[in-house]
Amino acid sequence: MTDDNDPLVYDQARWVEDAETYEPLLSEKNSEEVEVDSSLPDDLTRDSVELPSLSEPELARHYTRLSEMNYGVESGPFPLGSCTMKYNPKFTEDVAALPDASVHPGRSERSVQGTLKLQYELQDYLGRIGGMDAVTLQPPAGAAGEFAGILIAKAYHEANGNDRSEVVIPDSAHGTNFASAAMAGYDVVTLPSAEDGRVDLEALDAALSEDTAALMLTNPNTLGLFERDIEEIADMVHDVGGLLYYDGANLNALLGRARPGDMGFDVMHYNVHKTFATPHGGGGPGAGPVGVTEELAEFLPDPHVRKADGRYELYEPDNSIGKVHGYQGNWLVLVKAYAYIARLGDEGLSDASAKAVLNANYLAEQVDYEVPFGPFHHEFVASAGEQDAADVAKRMLDYGVHPPTTKWPEIVGEALMTEPTEIENKRTLDQLAAAFNAARGDADETLEAAPERTAAARIDQVTAARNPRLSWQALGDE
């Protein structure tokens, strides 16, 4: 029996056959050559192919072992700051797996009325949650939603005869904000943060001009701080004819309590794969619906779903920016988001945001590292101080938890950006705090050698990012 204030004794599964090989590939376990008989041209086929030949128990044990060598939100807490790595409830997977959810995009409107109804209602749900008048479901991820939102803003200015060239973005913003604005053809004006971690109003006033197309803002920001001057910020942007863009990455903190539209935001994207607990991470599918105010609705992507004469139909808005993704985005991800929202309802969504804020502030109080700023909403940023944040993160793996986001935002030195979300109970939060605090007391040489108890040791992350090997077969080329 361990004390809740002590880190867990942890050893991740390692399935070792010899000194250099972990769990073998299926083909290495047992395989056989199978002849190929195909009517395709000879230059497109092989005469034979080698396939694994295994019994069902061997196959089941292989994948179970691989799962034990990995870590995910079903293994334990996953407090990556700003990523909102929630547990994905299984009932949403069941809904998405229903036969009626499998819809071919080429089917006629008459034959997919139920599908269009779900899309229409999800548009309405998201609009009411965000305080927006119209929503498109097409963008397949948050970054794609940002880009679509900025294209809508650009189309709006062009339709009004305004040649705007700049987008203002705080220095603590997500990197995709800068990329989205630049891809849309805008010059980026970086806005420094004030000493309290929020928007510096004097710096904002100096940055705004008749060239300003939009200010891209996250609220709460990446430090977990709510922009108290948001109404004044909105007035300042609107006074120069600009639009206020809301990055929905941190919407989990506001559900049922505050709406970007009521704060003065004109356009926003929703990360439904964050806020509404559909799968997130690992390169899997996401969805980044975009909401707009009434004056921007005519620029939404084509097609859009509406209800007319008791039926649901797809139509092209008057000044649409065009299609940004096939069909209506990543359809099954949207189904899961719809199921999550419908299941929780107003009370459940409000409860989720309350617990997300409570958990972040509780955990921030328990860690021994310096935690500047506060109080927080859904996340906080601690500083590793003299320690290297990346080393701290690797060491936390040895204590059985996934580490937080590191080194960002840069306005906090050696940042440890942490978001426990609403899903974790007090015992798990205490386990997380114990891991933080154990790493805080570890010697530098211990941190630098970590992780020691995981299935794989520390990798060269720079080389892995610059020269990814996406198949085990690439190993044979060296």
In this prediction, residue 457 carries a pLDDT of 87
What's the token pair of residue 21?
A: 């090989």
Angle in degrees, 0-180, between the axes of helices 175-183 and 142-159, rounded to the nearest 10: 40
Q: How confident is the model at residue 1, as a pLDDT?
A: 38
Residue 337 has pLDDT above 50, yes or no: yes
List the structure tokens of 268.
């926003």
How far, CA to CA in Å, does 451 sit from each of 205, 318, 401, 441?
47, 56, 12, 16
With respect to residue 428, please indicate whether it lies within any of the assigned structural domains.
Answer: no
Q: What is the DSSP string of 29-54?
A: H-EEEEE---SS-GGG--SEEEEE--
Summarize pLDDT for 133-153 with one digit per residue, the tens: 999 999 999 999 999 999 999
Q: Answer yes or no: is 118 within a domain.
A: yes
Question: What pLDDT, on the 0 to 100 scale, is given for residue 15?
Answer: 79
Query: Does 249 reside within a domain?
Result: yes
Where residue 326 falls among pLDDT bands split at 50, 70, 90? confident
Using only the alpha carbons of the chain, give its radius of gyration: 25
Say yes or no to pLDDT of 431 above 80: yes
- Round the average pLDDT of the chain to a whole number and report it: 93
> In b/e form, how buried is each residue of 222-237, taking b as 16+ CB within 10 angstroms?
bbbbbbeebeebbebb
In total, how many domains does the chain have? 1
Query: Does any domain span residue 130?
Result: yes
Among 247, 212, 211, 229, residue whose Cα is nearest residue 84:
247
19 located within any domain: no
pLDDT band at 403 (very low <50, low <70, confident <90, very high): very high
3-state secondary structure of 136: strand
- Does residue 135 lie in a domain region? yes
Lowest mean pLDDT among 36-45, 245-254, 313-322: 36-45
Domain contains 415:
no
Tell me the residue range of the domain where 237 lies: 90-343
Identify which of 193, 186, 113, 110 has the alpha carbon closest to the alpha carbon of residue 149. 186
Residue type, 217: L
How far is CA 410 from each of CA 50, 415, 417, 427, 453, rounded to the nearest angstrom?
50, 7, 11, 31, 30
Is 159 a member of any domain? Answer: yes
The reported pTM is 0.92
Residue 222's domain is classified under what CATH number?
Answer: 3.40.640.10
